[in-house]
Amino acid sequence: MDSLPATGQADSPAATQADDTPRDHATSAPDHPARLPGFHRLAVTERLQLLRSRGLLTQADHRALTSGAQRLEPAQADKMIENVIGVMGLPVGLGLNFLINGKDYVVPLVVEEPSIVAALSAAAKLVRGSGGFTTASTRPLLIGQVQLTGLAHSGKARTALLQRRDEIINLANSLHPNMVARGGGVADVEVLIHAAPDGGPDMVVLHLLVDTCDAMGANLVNTMCEGVAPLAEAITGGKTCLRILSNLTDRALVRASAVIPTHALAGKGHDGGQVRDGIILANDLARVDPYRAATHNKGIMNGVDAVALATGNDWRALEAAVHAYAARGRGYRALTRWSRNAQGDLVGSIELPLKVGTVGGSLQANPMVAINHRLLGSPGARELAEVMAAVGLAQNFSALRALVTDGIQQGHMTLHARSVALAAGATPEMFDQVVERLLADGEIKLWKAQLIVAELGGQAAPGQAARGNRRTGTQEWAAGHGKVILLGEHAVVYGRHAIAAPLPLAIRAHVEDARDGTTLLIPRWGVEQRLQQPARPGSFLQSLTLLLERLGLARRALRIQVVPEMPRAMGLGGSAALAVAVIRALDRHCALGLDDASVCALAFECEKIAHGTPSGIDNTVATHGQALLYRRGEPATIRPLALKQPLPLVIGLSGSESLTARMVARVRQAWLQHPARYERIFDEIDVLTRYALDALEAHDLGELGELMNICQGQLNALQVSSREIEELVQLAREHGAAGAKLTGGGGGGAVIALCPDGGARVARAMRDAGYQALEVSFG
């Protein structure tokens, strides 16, 4: 075969793995476009906002996706095929973390099967940590076939055609001069002789080997075959029959490879060496057994086809080529090979034929396809084929790893429950509750989901959680409250006052005994993880390990199920609420007899893991669930607040994670360099906070709003605001808010807007700008 030169450009170095376990705030912002930690836990609008902020979506693309204008309309579809009556839709997801030939990729995927997108992103993150994928490809040639019959002597016909090779090539290329001008066209010809299956005369087949550049090329190759057919007849004296391209594109081969250190394979109670050897053994079976190979290769095409559909390519042609290629030689076999190198690392490679296109009318007919190409960075056809090969290898790795560890069903459980809930007719209001009940019951069946839907049909959707506990179905759930800080962020870390209030949103948790190890399950965030040692620094799994050790439960097998009723990583105290909910659930199930002070102290230890130097205000509000004036110390000063009337707020979500740990560290570094300057700012925030206490107790919302506005200026001076935060603040003030400011650590996250006349206008303005908004009140 031809050599396989790499076509990717080395634009960025490999990134280290980031922690995707649940926590309120990420410890650092990823530097690479393909690294979007926690992306799967965001709402759709938040994902689009994040992609826009990273420059992966243009403003026009963001507007189209937000409004739904990217959808294929029936009138457009009617121009594409015959007898159109409607348009079907399939989910479009993003494969994240891909590093291919040193270049970052966000890979659009069109697929309806659960877990494929998550599995690909996880595999790409693992491979990224060891240098990413390496790919290479041959010149992408498409074969056109001209069948000649009725020949007196097939050997002489073959010789005659080859002798006039240049004449045939020149004629074919004259039919598409623009393709030749772009560096493509017929590169060579070959002639094959086939014996007729019924013993009749031989057939001679002339092959045109055509470089179609970035086009898929089916129509132009067919035109070339039609054009040279009369010349072939004149040269051989035979008659032409078929004149058409071949979908066996074995002259457009692509190869991808990856090396994964053995230690990176360890996890979920499995030794890395065992996982490596299991993957190799599973692949060995697919190399000799066609029954296993068919399923093995189908898994590869789960990824390849999803990219093909997203980019408007002919997935049927790709399937035909790949399976024909797998069947070459003595039998049908696996397209991948997994082995170990001299260092004991797992080495994977794939080789398959992929002839794709990135230009042409059929690709531009669907508006979503154009957006997907831009998300990929508008690659050429050869680069796109190499991305597909890397995706195929990643998908194969994920499937094999699942099969040799927990089994393929373990990873599918949560996503399968979501599909079943949807099929059972769960409304958006009850959807998450149906999923959680299915998982809790352990019986993920359509009939079961239909019973749950019928049961919930007359009930209200999940709303406010009562202080401490809440009953759902037959289970009693423990709760931890989210919070907003009205004034005092960051200054509270340095001994000043802050005013905080609980949100009518909470995180709930339930614990029950399990058979095999402790498992953390958070369906709404797509988390289903076994407790493993050691947990990554800063993750909630590290906090959970600490809790189990402190409570004497480290050796007990437990199933910890969590239901968040609030957005995560938005500066709303999610990490503290999660810790309090889990602590209370453990206390209830294991009869530990913890009081509020003990719960709060344990949650504070978890906050130290999540944020480094927390003030203690988040875990205090999460535990006690009431508004308070707070000042850290030994002991902390805590003054409960009784409000005369409810306080009407709108919470605007920026779509970017609130990086509390990073913001606290940044402010601390600035304070160490200029202590007097920053102490003065903290003092000014403290004065504002004490004025705000008076306004709050007098229910003077005009004064309180003005103080919030001034405080936002001070927080901006601390450099903890962001472009999205400032835009949300401005939108709120322009549409009737008395005051608006960020809440929490900053760097992203959320804005609170005080709306004495009601928050509908403010919330609508935020949503119209592409943000999420929640109307809440407390008091």
State the catalytic residues: 113, 298, 314, 412
* Residues in Cβ contact with 384 at an 8 Å cutoff, skipping those fewer than 6 apart: 307, 311, 356, 358, 376
Rounded Cα distance, 553 and 152, in Å: 87
DSSP β-ladder status, 239-245 and 203-211:
unpaired
Peptide bond into 534 cis (omega under 30): yes
Q: Crossing angle of helices 408-423/381-404, nearest 10°? A: 110
Burial environment of residue 301 by CB neighbours within 10 A (0 to 12, 13 to 18, 19 or more): buried
Instruction: Please report, as a single letter, which amino acid is at residue 732.
Output: A
- Nearest of 678, 681, 704, 679 to residue 691 by alpha carbon: 704
CA distance linking residue 57 with residue 499, whole number of Å: 38
Q: How many CA atoms does the CB half-sphere of 133 hold within 13 Å?
A: 34
The 3-state DSSP class for residue 638 equals strand
Contacts of 289 (CB under 8 A, 6+ apart): none
Q: What single string gives the DSSP state of each residue in 444-455?
A: --HHHHHHHHHH
Q: Measured between alpha carbons, how far is residue 611 from residues 32, 50, 349, 443, 614 in Å?
A: 23, 22, 41, 38, 6
Residue 351: beta bridge partners? 255
Beta bridge partners of 267: 270
Q: What angle do CA 696, 698, 699 make, to 5 degrees?
A: 60
List beta partners, residue 239: 149
574: CB partners within 8 A, 6+ apart = 24, 482, 507, 564, 566, 567, 568
Q: Please, what is the Cα angle at 109 between 104 and 113, to 5 degrees?
A: 135
Cα separation, 26 vs 37, in Å, equals 8
How is residue 667 written in tokens?
Answer: 């402010």
Please enumerate in sequence order all residues whose Cβ is within 8 A of that of 727, keeping only pairs 6 or more positions apart, or say none.
Answer: 769
CA 688 centroid distance within chain: 41
Query: Can you list the pairs that 318-323 forms with residues at least 24 positions away whose Cβ atoms lie under 8 Å?
Result: 318/354, 318/355, 318/356, 320/247, 320/248, 321/247, 321/248, 321/249, 321/250, 321/352, 321/353, 321/354, 321/355, 322/297, 322/352, 322/353, 322/354, 323/297
- Phi, psi (5° rounding) for residue 630? -130, 140
Placement of tokens 């600035």 in the chain: 670
Let me know: does 28 contact 546? Beta carbons within 8 Å: no
